[in-house]
């Protein structure tokens, strides 16, 4: 039974991450739609105008355009993210075998968080490529093109195979490695500070606030590479030569402030979405620990 413990811990980590992903998407997708539309079009005056135009033309369901893609993708993506994070924590312990305290420092949590973004990119990039296309197709010339994520994904595959689906991989890594480091660092720092001393088990209030602040910490530094990623993934093939070329062209044509488009909705989304995500994970882990 003892030999099965590490395998069971990994299964729990995967299931807990999946619960976090579903909770995050349900709470945060409307804000994400507004963020992407602001990042990829100049037809809006700001966040309020983008919200008003979207609802007026497409109804409130327009805010949930493209949600099927992240919902399908969140199960493996968040499961992989939290599993990779736990693996990163274990790797840190393995390279410091003579440590006096098994608890990691905040710096070590950040290292594990940055590591978690690398394998997660395998799922994140094609999922977000499809999501961005579905979120922006109604504002493109010619109107709606795809019926859903399968239709969009199949057309991308026909267009350029796996390279088309993985367009924006470098930009995704540039966003998620430092972003994930900040994400998990902030969660551990805030949770440590808030959890009542001596309390055993789940502290719901601490998890919610720490999770929300983790999201804010990530998006506070992740917006510029996210803008570049969204532009690369939404543009026709060949528009940009790569990450740097896209960034240079954005600054040249729109100024450096264009790299911060979507910051408002990203930060508005960050707190409730990630508070829900961490609570979903914590609740799932509590259930799994009681069962096994």
- Output the CA torsion sign for 150, 57, 234, 276: negative
Mean pLDDT (whole number) for 159-182: 95
Looking at the predicted structure, is the pLDDT value of residue 252 above 50? yes
Considering only the C-alpha atoms of the chain, give the largest distance between any 2 of them, rounded to a whole number of Å. 63
Tokens of 198: 């001596």
pLDDT tens across 9-50, in order? 888 888 898 899 889 888 888 888 898 899 888 889 888 999
Looking at the predicted structure, is the pLDDT value of residue 3 above 60? no
Parent domain of 90: 2-291
* Residue % of the chain over a pLDDT of 90: 52
pLDDT tens across 15-24, in order? 898 899 889 8
How many Cα neighbours within 13 Å face the side chain of 32?
Answer: 26
CATH number for the domain harbouring residue 25 = 1.50.40.10
* Residue % of the chain over a pLDDT of 70: 95
Number of domains, the chain: 1
Helix axes 243-254, 169-194, angle to 10 degrees: 80
Return mean pLDDT, the chain. 89
pLDDT at position 92 is: 93
Per-residue 3-state assignment (H helix, E strand, C coil) for 22-80: HHHHHHHHHHHHHHHHHHHCCCCCCHHHHHHHHHHHHCHHHHHCCCHHHHHHHHHHHHH
- List the Cα angle 246/80/65 in 5-degree steps: 55
Confidence of residue 5 (pLDDT cuts 50, 70, 90): low
Instruction: For residues 110 and 112, give the distance between their C-alpha atoms in angstroms, rounded to a whole number.
Output: 5
Instruction: For residues 119 and 173, give the distance between their C-alpha atoms in angstroms, rounded to a whole number.
Output: 10
pLDDT at position 8 is: 65
More confident residue, 281 or 139: 281
Give the Cβ contact number of residue 121 at 10 Å: 22
Mean pLDDT (whole number) for 255-282: 91
pLDDT at position 280 is: 92
Confidence of residue 1 (pLDDT cuts 50, 70, 90): very low
pLDDT tens across 185-211, in order? 999 999 999 988 877 777 889 999 999
Looking at the predicted structure, is the pLDDT value of residue 246 above 80? yes
pLDDT at position 144 is: 60
pLDDT tens across 74-103, in order? 778 888 999 999 999 999 999 998 888 888
DSSP state of 256: G
Looking at the predicted structure, is the pLDDT value of residue 62 above 50? yes
pLDDT at position 146 is: 84
The position carrying tokens 């493209």 is 66
Spell out the long-range contacts of 241-246 with Cβ–Cβ below 8 A and sequence spacing 24 or more: 242/170, 243/170, 243/171, 243/174, 246/171
Q: Coil, strand, or helix at residue 97?
A: coil
Instruction: For residues 27 and 11, give the distance between their C-alpha atoms in angstroms, rounded to a whole number.
Output: 25
More confident residue, 94 or 70: 94
Question: Torsions phi, psi of 215, nearest 5?
Answer: -65, -40
- List the Cα angle 135/136/138 in 5-degree steps: 100
- List the Cα angle 77/225/133 in 5-degree steps: 60
The position carrying tokens 């408002």 is 264
Q: Is this model's pTM higher than 0.75 or not?
A: yes
């Amino acid at each position: 039974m003892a030999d099965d413990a590490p395998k069971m811990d990994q299964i729990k980590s995967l299931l807990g991450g999946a619960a976090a992903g579903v909770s995050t998407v349900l709470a945060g997708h409307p804000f994400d739609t507004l963020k992407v539309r602001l990042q990829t079009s100049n037809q809006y005056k700001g966040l309020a105008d983008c919200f008003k135009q979207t609802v007026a033309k497409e109804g409130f369901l327009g805010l949930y355009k493209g949600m099927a893609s992240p919902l399908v993708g969140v199960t493996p993506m968040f499961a992989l993210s939290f599993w990779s994070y736990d693996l990163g924590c274990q790797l840190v312990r393995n390279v410091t075998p003579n440590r006096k305290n098994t608890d990691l420092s905040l710096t070590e949590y950040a290292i594990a968080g940055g590591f978690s973004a690398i394998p997660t990119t395998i799922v994140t990039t094609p999922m977000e490529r499809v999501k961005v296309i579905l979120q922006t197709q109604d504002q493109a010339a010619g109107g709606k093109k795809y019926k859903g994520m399968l239709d969009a994904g199949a057309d991308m595959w026909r267009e350029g195979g796996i390279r088309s689906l993985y367009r924006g991989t470098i930009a995704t890594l540039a966003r998620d490695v430092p972003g994930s480091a900040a994400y998990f660092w902030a969660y551990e720092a805030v949770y440590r500070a808030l959890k009542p001393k001596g309390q055993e088990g789940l502290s719901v209030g601490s998890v919610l606030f720490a999770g929300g602040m983790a999201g804010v910490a990530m998006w506070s530094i992740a917006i510029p590479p996210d803008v570049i990623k969204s532009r690369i993934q939404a543009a026709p093939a060949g528009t940009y030569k790569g990450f740097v070329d896209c960034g240079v062209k954005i600054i040249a044509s729109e100024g450096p402030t264009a790299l911060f488009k979507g910051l408002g909705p990203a930060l508005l989304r960050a707190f409730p979405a990630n508070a829900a995500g961490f609570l979903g994970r914590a609740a799932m882990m509590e259930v799994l620990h009681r069962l096994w």
